[in-house]
Amino acid sequence: MEALHEEMPFDLAFHPSSPLVATSLITGELYLFRYAAESQPERLFAAKSHKESCRAVRFVESGNGSADCSILASDVETGKPIARLEDAHENGINRLVCLTETTVASGDDEGCIKVWDTRERSCCNTFHCHEDYISDMTYVSDSNQILATSGDGTLSVSNLRRNKVKSQSEFSEDELLSVVVMKNGKKVVCGTPSGALLLYSWGFFKDCSDRFLGHAQSVDTMLKLDEETLISGASDGVIRLVGILPNRIIQPLAEHSEYPIEALAFSNDRNYLGSISHDKMLKLWNLQDLLNRQQLVQDDKLGEQDSDDSDDDGMDVDMDPNSSKGSRSTKTSKGQSSDRPTSDFFADL
């Protein structure tokens, strides 16, 4: 299933209980689609929510973020604005993540993270973590912490209870573009422009404990499938199934005709994998069909090859988390990524 946009989409989000998916566009528009099996997504509305590009969309009780530094609440039924927080950030908002039913976090182009109470429409936490744009965030509910990656090449851990930045990594050689938590919270995986996946051991965030060079191009977005595997979206347009410890590219799952993958998301029932790309296309893939197809390919390969799966490439064994790589890269200047426009915008339903 697929739907073509008039302009390039930047983000997508599935409704938590209904067969709806929203996308945000470079033009500042929000699209809402209804989807069903064996049919193309039906666009319910297109709403012009902001004057500048819309970089993120989420289904929460309130919130659209924009380059005008405001957060806008939009009605899901009509797309019409409900309320606006002026000057929510001093800089354009780049990322948004839902924390609880009543709180969301937003990250801007200068490395600031803010946590918002959607009931009170007020800021309850502020973290000045990074020196460059917030590229991705994920929430760890067990410890009430936000993990964030940035264009400055660092990973940060912010504690919401203490309202302080608990840990921050040294500068890596690359920008950090995406982040997921794996192995039952023991490992944090970050994607980079070089295609390397950096693995950090929980509690030892100063430097990465492992580096997996399985992707040829930039890993811009990732989703955790389970504790052992993730799904990556890369700038070569390929969506891949990736194993973590042992580190290996298990199988390509789908593609967007060599156009960079901008975002990935699961539907609320995990029946569908959604993807958007620079080809202006929203694609909804039947997740089980993709995984079944992958399993058939793996079974065929096992029938043709030897049973040697020792993987002696040195990438599968996690290194001592206390060891230091001894390298520190200089800060990457904001705006060098060709996948990001000069105008910042963020939207959320």
Specify whether the CB–CB gap between 11 and 276 falls below 8 A. yes
Specify whether the CB–CB gap between 231 and 221 falls below 8 A. no
Instruction: Name the residue range of residue 73's domain.
Output: 2-299
User: How far apart are the two ends of the chain, measured CA to CA in Å?
Assistant: 22
Q: Does residue 58 sit within a domain?
A: yes
276: CATH = 2.130.10.10
The pLDDT profile of the chain, 349 residues, written as one tens digit per residue, is 999 999 999 999 999 999 999 999 999 889 999 999 989 999 999 988 777 888 888 887 544 444 556 566 677 777 776 666 656 767 778 898 999 988 889 999 999 999 988 888 888 899 998 999 999 999 999 999 999 999 999 999 999 999 999 999 999 989 999 999 999 999 999 999 999 999 999 999 999 999 999 999 999 999 999 999 999 999 999 999 999 999 999 999 999 988 999 999 999 999 999 999 999 999 999 999 999 986 666 666 655 655 444 444 333 333 344 433 333 333 333 333 333 333 333 344 4
Q: Does residue 280 sit within a domain?
A: yes
Peptide bond into 341 cis (omega under 30): no
Q: Does residue 286 sit within a domain?
A: yes
User: What are 64's two structure tokens?
Assistant: 């659209």
Instruction: Give the Cα separation of 117 and 98 in Å (integer).
Output: 11
Specify whether the CB–CB gap between 198 and 329 falls below 8 A. no
Q: Does residue 176 sit within a domain?
A: yes
Q: Does residue 172 sit within a domain?
A: yes
Q: Does residue 305 sit within a domain?
A: no
**Amino acid in position 298:** Q
Specify whether the CB–CB gap between 197 and 219 falls below 8 A. yes
Structural domain count, the chain: 1
SS3 170: coil
Pick the closest to residue 221 from 242, 250, 200, 202 (CA basis). 242
Specify whether the CB–CB gap between 15 and 35 falls below 8 A. no
